[in-house]
């Protein structure tokens, strides 16, 4: 079974637009768990324009499913995750002003940095994942860094799904097979939705977890949060 981790960044974006605490991020994360999510993902960025560091601390004390924190492992991010010690940290090579994640790590260019970062996280008992494009040399580089899992960046798959889904998913299948051969667990995320998720999950082998935020929250505006979480779960079953 592939687990669904709900990224709650967009809930925080809505809250921050008006100040105050409506919607209540912590309560909505707990509701996602209650509705069937098997994990909660956050991506605190340096400008804290959506999820804030205090949100991360507040969530850690109440979540009962797996907590996944994504981000670029700069000093403030590392201080935060080492204090919180979530189930999983996903290393993402975001620029400071990035609108959203738009590429995976070049695990060859940043080999030493990633190896040192992964080692520090693992010393603290944190499962670690590296965000990568479906490029075989970058999967191999992730394995050499000592990481537990990789998360495949699925924007290219989603973009081409409606024109040629077989060709779109091909690089992901090959990357997944290689990751499994190298002993890496496999996650995936970015632009997965109710249209393309099932085919991806059924076609890409060894998929342990997907992290979905933007599309799921957009669907919830029409379908309701409880129904939407359960619909995504159904696509993974």
Q: Give the residue numbers marked as catalytic.
A: 43, 70, 190
If you ran DSSP here, which 8-state letter would residue 22 be given? Answer: S
Q: Which of 106, 113, 98, 110 is nearest to 135 (CA)?
A: 106
Distance between CA atoms of 125 and 138, rounded to whole angstroms? 24
- Note whether 191 and 199 are within 8 A (CB): no
Q: Burial level of 75, CB count in 10 A (0-12/13-18/19+)?
A: exposed
Residue 106 — φ and ψ, nearest 5°? -85, 95
The CA–CA distances, whole Å, from 78 to 67, 94, 163, 197 equal: 15, 14, 40, 31
- Note whether 132 and 140 are within 8 A (CB): no
Cβ partners under 8 Å of residue 9, min gap 6 = 42, 43, 50, 51, 213, 214
If you ran DSSP here, which 8-state letter would residue 2 be given? Answer: P
Residue 83: how many CB atoms within 10 A of its CB?
12
């Amino acid at each position: 079974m592939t687990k669904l981790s709900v990224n709650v960044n967009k809930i925080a974006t809505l809250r921050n637009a008006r100040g105050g605490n409506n919607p209540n991020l912590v309560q909505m994360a707990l509701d996602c768990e209650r509705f069937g999510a098997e994990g909660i993902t956050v991506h605190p960025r340096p400008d804290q324009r959506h999820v804030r560091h205090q949100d991360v601390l507040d969530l850690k004390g109440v979540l009962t499913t797996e907590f996944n924190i994504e981000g670029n492992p700069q000093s403030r991010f590392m201080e935060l995750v080492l204090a919180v010690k979530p189930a999983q940290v996903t290393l993402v090579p975001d620029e400071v002003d990035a609108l959203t994640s738009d590429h995976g790590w070049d695990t060859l260019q940043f080999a030493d940095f990633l190896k040192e970062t992964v080692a520090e996280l693992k010393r603290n008992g944190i499962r670690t994942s590296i965000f990568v494009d479906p490029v075989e040399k970058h999967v191999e580089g992730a394995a050499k860094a000592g990481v537990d899992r990789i998360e495949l960046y699925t924007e290219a798959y989603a973009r081409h799904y409606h024109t040629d889904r077989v060709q779109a998913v091909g690089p992901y299948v090959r990357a997944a097979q290689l990751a499994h051969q190298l002993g890496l667990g496999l996650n995936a995320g970015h632009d997965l939705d109710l249209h393309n998720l099932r085919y991806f999950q059924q076609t890409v082998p060894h998929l342990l977890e997907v992290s979905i935020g933007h599309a799921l929250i957009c669907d919830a505006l029409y379908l309701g949060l409880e129904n939407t979480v359960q619909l995504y779960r159904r696509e993974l079953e």
